[in-house]
């Protein structure tokens, strides 16, 4: 029995006991993380299903971040070279692990800034509209920040956002996009395809290699927002020939609120002389301290850097990436498939008699570690999420007005957490009259 799952004086029904048995056989890595406590009730810890919004804190993060802070106190400016983890090359210590996580070459990868800033920096290079080819294709259900970013980019280039931004919608009566419909939308006027690898709302895993190939065959550049894909599903960005990608590190990558993000630029673009915004850290490391007036960018994704990296923000990313290196994304994906399927099975036992409907694809190959529920019966997602949290100790993510997202994260979620969530939903949502 995993430590902290339940208080010792509770009897279990057979379904709960079966969930506990599954945790014994398939335990995950919960002991590496700090799980928020519950003040009262039968369970000392919450059942946490919001890792697709903010991941839990690895226990090692506090220790290693304090070590980096202590280096500042001990070394002052000399910490750039003499700290336990020297600051000057610190950003490079994240590169190889980040590249392994997304299936890239180290030269194609850099950790920097935040997600939307990185998307803007990348679009400076990769969105080069012409009178004939100027449109950007996104999902209609794209995360709002992506929508704002692309609309502002086309406006900056002098085009009407309403005319230049193509928003893909599922077919009538369906909840998710079909790959063939995405491909059909890629006409000769499309300059850029920028989709979410895993859709934040529905949890749909897009067919990245097929869409990438189709977009490029149509003459467009293809980039991906991997905010909900990095650390969630296996990726092979280099082999899939993706032009560029960006991701955040505070969801499945558990690096803390507002954590530094990642960037991928395929190697074929690294020496192509693309336009970029530049700053001190855009120039090659060997000549950086010559203080020359002109940049000498390296033939790597580091050329897209602008400012020197914030060390204390990089520290949690480094800690998290070490966990992913130790466990392996392929191993995590296998547990994710088992855990999500178990949650799906339990939900199937209660949804037919309640105004709850899973809108995430049923095919495990077409989804990540998430099941989204559309709620009917006059209930609002936020109200239901508050009931789950304060009456049942279950933390889920609400997207108003009517979508509740449950993310069983394979690193730290339990089968018992899944049982708790479904039992709580059964009690909180009235059966159909």
* Token reading at 76: 């002052």
What are the pLDDT tens digits along the chain (433 aa)? 444 455 545 678 999 999 999 999 999 999 999 999 998 788 999 999 999 999 999 999 999 999 999 999 999 999 999 999 999 999 999 999 999 999 999 999 999 999 999 999 999 999 999 999 999 999 999 999 999 999 999 999 999 999 999 999 999 999 999 999 999 999 999 999 999 999 999 999 999 999 999 999 999 999 999 999 999 999 999 999 999 999 999 999 999 999 999 999 999 999 988 999 999 999 998 888 899 999 999 999 999 999 999 999 999 999 999 999 999 999 999 999 999 999 999 999 999 999 999 999 999 999 999 999 999 999 999 999 999 999 999 999 999 999 999 999 999 999 999 999 999 999 999 998 4
Dist. CA 341–CA 51, nearest whole Å = 17
Burial grade of 432 (CB within 10 A; 0-12, 13-18, 19 or more): exposed
Residue among 259, 278, 272 nearest 114 (CA): 259
**Distance of CA 405 to CAs 164, 375, 402, Å?**
31, 11, 10
- 14-45+328-428: CATH number: 3.90.1150.10
pTM: 0.95
Residue range 214-237, pLDDT digits in tens: 999 999 999 999 999 999 999 999
Q: Is the peptide bond before 73 cis (omega within 30 degrees of 0)?
A: no
CATH T-level topology, domain 63-327: 3.40.640
- How many whole angstroms separate alpha carbon 202 and alpha carbon 404? 10
Domain boundaries, the chain: 14-45+328-428, 63-327
Secondary structure of residue 337 in the 3-state scheme: helix
Phi, psi of 367 (to 5 degrees): -150, 160
Element (H, E) at 17: helix 14-25
Please give the angle made by the CA atoms of 140, 146 and 150, to the nearest 5 degrees: 90
Angle at 260 between CA 235 and CA 216, to 5 degrees: 40
Distance CA 135, CA 328 (A): 38
Q: Where are the alpha helices (DSSP H) in 239-380?
A: 311-327, 329-350
DSSP string computed for 367-412: B-S-EEEEE-TT--HHHHHHHHHHHH-EE-EEETTTEEEEB--TTT
The answer to whether the beta carbons of residues 232 and 368 sit under 8 Å apart is yes
Q: How far apart are CA 333 and CA 232, in angstroms?
A: 7
Pairing, β 244-247 against β 261-265: antiparallel
Radius of gyration of the chain (CA): 23
pLDDT score of 287: 87
What is the per-residue pLDDT for 3?
A: 43
- 106: enclosing H helix or E strand: none
pLDDT at 9: 57
Bridge-based pairing state of the strands 135-139 and 165-168: parallel
Distance CA 185, CA 168 (A): 8
Name the residue among 105, 93, 107 with its Cα closest to residue 320. Answer: 93
């Amino acid at each position: 029995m995993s430590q902290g799952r339940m208080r010792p004086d509770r009897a279990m029904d057979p379904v709960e006991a079966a969930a506990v048995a599954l945790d014994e056989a398939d335990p995950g890595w919960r002991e590496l993380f700090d799980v928020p406590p519950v003040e009262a009730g039968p369970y000392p810890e919450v059942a946490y299903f919001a890792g697709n919004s903010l991941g839990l804190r690895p226990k090692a993060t506090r220790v290693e971040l304090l070590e980096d802070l202590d280096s500042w106190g001990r070394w002052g400016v000399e910490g750039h070279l003499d700290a336990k983890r020297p600051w000057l090359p610190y950003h490079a210590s994240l590169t190889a692990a980040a590249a392994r996580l997304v299936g890239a070459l180290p030269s194609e990868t850099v950790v920097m800034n935040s997600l939307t800033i990185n998307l803007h920096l990348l679009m400076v290079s990769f969105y080069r509209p012409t009178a004939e080819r100027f449109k950007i294709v996104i999902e209609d259900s794209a995360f709002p920040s992506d929508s704002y970013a692309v609309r502002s980019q086309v406006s900056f280039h002098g085009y009407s956002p309403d005319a230049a931004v193509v928003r893909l919608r599922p077919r009538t009566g369906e909840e998710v996009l079909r790959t063939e419909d995405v491909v059909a939308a890629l006409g000769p006027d499309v300059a850029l395809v920028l989709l979410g690898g895993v859709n934040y709302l529905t949890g749909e895993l897009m067919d990245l290699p097929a869409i990438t190939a189709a977009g490029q065959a149509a003459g467009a550049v293809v980039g991906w927002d991997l905010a909900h894909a990095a650390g969630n599903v296996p990726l092979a960005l280099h082999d899939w020939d993706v032009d560029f990608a960006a991701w955040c590190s505070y969801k499945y990558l558990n690096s803390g609120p507002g954590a530094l993000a990642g960037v991928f630029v395929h190697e074929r673009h690294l020496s192509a002389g693309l336009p970029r915004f530049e700053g001190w850290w855009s120039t090659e490391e060997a000549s950086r301290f010559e203080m020359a007036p002109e940049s000498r960018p390296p033939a790597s994704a580091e050329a897209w850097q602008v400012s020197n990296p914030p060390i204390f923000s990089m520290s949690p990313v480094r800690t998290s990436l070490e966990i992913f290196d130790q466990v392996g994304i392929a191993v995590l994906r296998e547990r994710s498939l088992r855990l999500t399927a178990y949650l799906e099975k339990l939900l199937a036992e209660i949804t037919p008699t309640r105004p709850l409907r899973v809108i995430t694809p049923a095919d495990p190959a077409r989804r990540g570690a998430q099941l989204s529920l559309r709620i009917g019966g006059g209930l609002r997602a936020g109200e239901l999420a508050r009931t789950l949290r304060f009456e049942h100790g279950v933390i889920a993510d609400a997207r108003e007005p009517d979508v509740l997202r449950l993310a069983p994260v394979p690193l730290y979620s339990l089968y018992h957490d899944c049982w708790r969530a479904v039992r709580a939903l059964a009690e909180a949502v009235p059966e159909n009259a």
